[in-house]
Amino acid sequence: MTDTIVALATPLGRSGIGTVRLSGPDAARIAERFCDSPGFEPRRATLVKLSDPEIGEAIDEAVVTFYRGLNSFTGEDVVEISCHGSPVVLRQVIDGSLRLGARMADPGEFSLRALANGKMNLAEAEAIRDLIDAQTATAARQAVRQMRGEISQTLSPVKDELLDVIVVLESALEFVEDDLPDVQTAALSERLRRIADELDRFAATFKAGHLIREGLRVAIIGHPNVGKSSLFNALLGSERAIVTDIAGTTRDQLHERFTINDIPISLIDTAGLRETTDVVESIGVERSRATMADADLVILMLDASVQTSDEDRQLIESITGLNYIVALNKIDKVPSSDIDRMVAAENSSLAFLRDKIVPISAKTGEGLEDLKAAIIEPFSPGDVDSTGFLITDARHHDLLLRARDEVLGSQRLIEERASEEIILVGLHNALRYFGEITGETTTEDMLTRIFSTFCIGK
Ligand SMILES: Nc1nc2c(ncn2[C@@H]2O[C@H](COP(=O)(O)OP(=O)(O)OP(=O)(O)O)[C@@H](O)[C@H]2O)c(=O)[nH]1
Ligand SMILES: [Mg+2]
């Protein structure tokens, strides 16, 4: 027997409307205790006066909607009480529900119940989470496609083909006395190779999918006073960071989000790198180095108006293993012929960086569009059609690759004339991985882990 859960379905804080959601066998009974109306008509919004179930004092006026059993989001009786979005009122409704026997919902528990009651599969539930968390319209669009079942639909023909091969091998195991004839083995091997190729193709869309969903961490790094904070502000379009002509202005790191071509970018301004005896600044410098190491991309900034120094060369050397581009800043201070010479001349100290240099002026905005293009260029998936369906979840990507490896393993065994029993092991494993994507064969532990990434009230 399941219990009845309650949670705030809208964000915490003050708003026009705030909704408390109840799900479970007692949902309607509990909600009725708050209202002056006896019984709710399913799927009909009813305006009611809410009062405290124990002392009868007025709480608010609200619109209550009741969804009966299988017709609800969770597949159980659900009541949504939409009050005015006052944290005090919402608290009273939730506390009252708890006293009447409801329990506070765990993160993602509404979606988990929908899954348990067959209202959606796991990939679809994850898509709702992703839709709510989406940072851009493109990410939201992908989540909606997944919510509508596109993963299962796309995988379905591959899965059917795999099942077909399994059936052939299983029946050979049952009915064929000798080994399978050569022609049949060759045909099965070919079919498995095609399945593996299909899975590979599908998994490859993750590069674009991941980018659209998670975006990039980009850190601006360089010596003090080169203009890092100025660039940070220019890219964001707001005076977020303090800019002065004093070296060592930025100490704490600043993080802000913006987008380039609908790709979410998490931009980090850092403390200028230099040897320093100042305690606060040296902590900042330490952090800059750590940030640099786990950014997806480093923008190394140099000042075009000063001669490249040994320190610059050391800095460049220290990032050679990382993914980086060079922003040559303050070009407004130097004649453009000098810039050309610095970037293009064979004997220039920057010549070896040529392909990576983007001349800019954080002050005038010159070159910023080129810089934006250079930021996303190494990550642009090029050959992938980003209007098609994309794998956006690392869990799905991992399962697809595992399924592919199992299929390839079995294909090798077929070629080696292994027994059907051994070949079948890998194919059944692959089938199980498919099932884990949609949740058919996911263990209780896994489900708990996945749903803990949801927030309360979903
Ligand atoms: N002419 C010119 N001046 C710039 C440009 N970018 C930044 N500056 C100036 O350079 C000085 C330092 O700029 P910041 O953005 O504070 O430099 P920073 O790299 O963040 O410095 P720290 O935080 O100390 O590491 C300021 O006086 C800016 O106005 C530019 O493109 N052209
Ligand atoms: Mg700064």
Nearest-atom number in ligand 1 for the CA of 223 is 25
Domain residues for the domain of 363 are 215-379
What is the CATH classification number for the domain harbouring 149?
A: 1.20.120.430
Same domain, 358 and 400: no
Same domain, 100 and 182: no
- What local confidence, expressed as pLDDT, does residue 178 receive? 67
Q: How many domains does the chain have?
A: 3
Same domain, 148 and 252: no
- In degrees, rounded to 5, the angle at the alpha carbon of residue 209 between the alpha carbons of residues 205 and 213 is 170
Give the distance (Å) from ligand 2 centre to CA of residue 295. Answer: 18
The residue out of 350, 379, 408 marking a domain boundary is: 379
Residue 365: CB within 6 Å of ligand 1? no
Give the distance (Å) from ligand 2 centre to CA of residue 264. Answer: 22
Half-sphere exposure of 144 (CA within 13 A, CB side): 7
- What local confidence, expressed as pLDDT, does residue 165 receive? 93
The residue out of 361, 379, 397 marking a domain boundary is: 379
Nearest-atom number in ligand 1 for the CA of 301 is 19
Residue 306, both tokens:
């000063």
Nearest-atom number in ligand 1 for the CA of 269 is 20
Same domain, 138 and 100: no
Q: Is the dihedral of CA 48, 51, 57, 59 positive or negative?
A: negative
Same domain, 303 and 359: yes
Ligand 1 mutation pick, 221, 230, 268, max ligand atoms within 8 A of CB: 230
Same domain, 341 and 221: yes
Same domain, 285 and 371: yes
Same domain, 95 and 234: no
Residue given tokens 């070919």 in the structure block: 190
Tens place of pLDDT per residue across the chain (458 aa): 689 999 999 998 999 999 999 999 999 999 999 987 778 899 999 999 999 998 889 999 999 999 998 889 999 999 999 999 999 999 999 999 999 999 999 988 999 999 999 999 899 999 999 999 898 888 999 999 999 989 989 999 999 999 999 988 988 887 766 677 777 889 999 999 999 999 999 999 998 898 888 899 999 999 999 999 999 999 999 999 999 999 989 988 999 999 998 899 999 999 988 877 888 888 878 888 888 888 999 999 999 999 888 888 888 888 888 999 999 999 999 998 888 888 777 667 777 777 889 999 999 999 999 999 999 988 876 544 556 788 999 999 999 999 999 999 999 999 999 999 999 999 999 999 998 888 877 677 767 777 777 777 77
Same domain, 248 and 366: yes
Same domain, 396 and 446: yes
- The type of residue at 203 is A
Residue bearing the CA closest to ligand 1, atom 30: 330
Same domain, 330 and 428: no
Residue 251: CB within 6 Å of ligand 1? no
- Give the whole-angstrom CA distance, residue 374 versus residue 355: 10
Residue 409: CB within 6 Å of ligand 1? no
Give the distance (Å) from ligand 2 centre to CA of residue 224. Answer: 7
**What 3-state class would DSSP assign to 299?**
strand
